[in-house]
Structure 1
Amino acid sequence: MHIILLGAPGTGKGTQSKLISKKYKIPQISTGDILREHIESKNKIGKKIYNILKKGELVSDNIVCDLVYEKIKKANYVKGFLLDGFPRTIQQAKYISNLNIKIHFVFEFIVPDELILKRISGRRTHIQSGRTYHIYFNPPKEEGKDDITKEKLVIREDDKIESIKNRLENYKKNNKKLTEYYLEEKKLKKLKFFQLDGTKKPNIIYKEIEKIIESKN
């Protein structure tokens, strides 16, 4: 089974992808995770990606497609995968289509900008372990400190307000065409496409997704 999760940053794609991946035993491919891995390794491509994301800009289609393809061609992705946050542009969508991989489900999460800003700007990260917190929804026991090591939590560059606003603007530029593309694919019965209310509680959203997969698969 091949599934795509679409939605602006902060709409809950990561949470749902982990639940779906666990339930249906298909590996998750998160473009955000892939980009962060390269940034943390501080290799040439990682430094380039860091500078792009710092400004709230989108990493080019060529870079993202190459990195995603590297993951897809690995043996453990042959029987299925879940794409979290990819594609983000028409070019990326067509890239996946040209690989002749049948996509079964596309889920798009819809969340108002104000809530997205609140969700992302409230994130705090413990860099050394990757543990994340949220000042509103999942605060640390002690303000600004990791629960386990008591080391300082930081705001990632791409979680700062100006960067979030730029990311949302970039997302909207591409998303209308992307949605139209998948609606057309749905009409042609090439895949099943659903838009979901991302403001609901994660467990309720997941039950909706599970019901769709079980009834349509």
Structure 2
Amino acid sequence: MSGESPDDRADEESTDPRPATDGGSAAGEGPETDSRPMPSEQPGPRERDHPEGRRNLEGIRIDPVVEAEHESRRAVISALVEDEPGVLARVSGLVSRRQFNIESLTVGPTTVDGHSRITMVVEETDPGIDQIEKQMAKLKPVISVGEVAGDAVTSELVLLKVEADDPAAVHAVSEMYDGKTVDAGPETITVELTGDKTDVDSAIGAFERFGIVEIARTGPTALARGNTPTAPGEKPGTAGEPTTHDD
């Protein structure tokens, strides 16, 4: 037997320079490190790859084709719809939920009772415009929908209220743009203008020197030229004859 006491052996064990190991690692090896990313470095649930694409904050799937880089352009979309309570809200809600940019939205009756035409102007990419048409076509009240041809007849109405410091000059500018004075007072003059977007924007620019007090624009409405249907597949009807869609 050696002459070491139990206390001497305890002192040697307590001063062992070898680092302690976890899980039975060999002496002299450092502790295992966790290579997994910290929680803050991991992608959020809405940013993780999904077999069908990512989703936006509302949970709507983002089409990878639409999300890719494309040039935006201005497009006029016309939809023939059945008159039902809330149809306009359903159309606008569908488009806004998918975060498409609506420039203007107008609705009005057609020659057929129970049918209305919605004209929507959007600033979107070609894939985005295609998605808008496809999603709108799925709505039950929509009879026909499509982009209006570039040479279509488009027009909008504008009411423009300006300061009346120089009535003669206001009247002269109004005549220049085929406008009509619909209200005149000692402090303001209200002019009605109609035309396509280019003409209206030009007229508004000319009236700015008088001081524009208020402005209201309807947004463009459009019809295709000649016998071309305004919405693809649409068969225009006359009074008393239902407007139908060519299946």
TM-score normalised over the length of structure 1: 0.27
Q: Which has the higher helix share?
A: 1
TM-score normalised over the length of structure 2: 0.25
Give 1 or 2 for the bigger CA radius of gyration: 2
Q: Which has the higher strand share?
A: 2
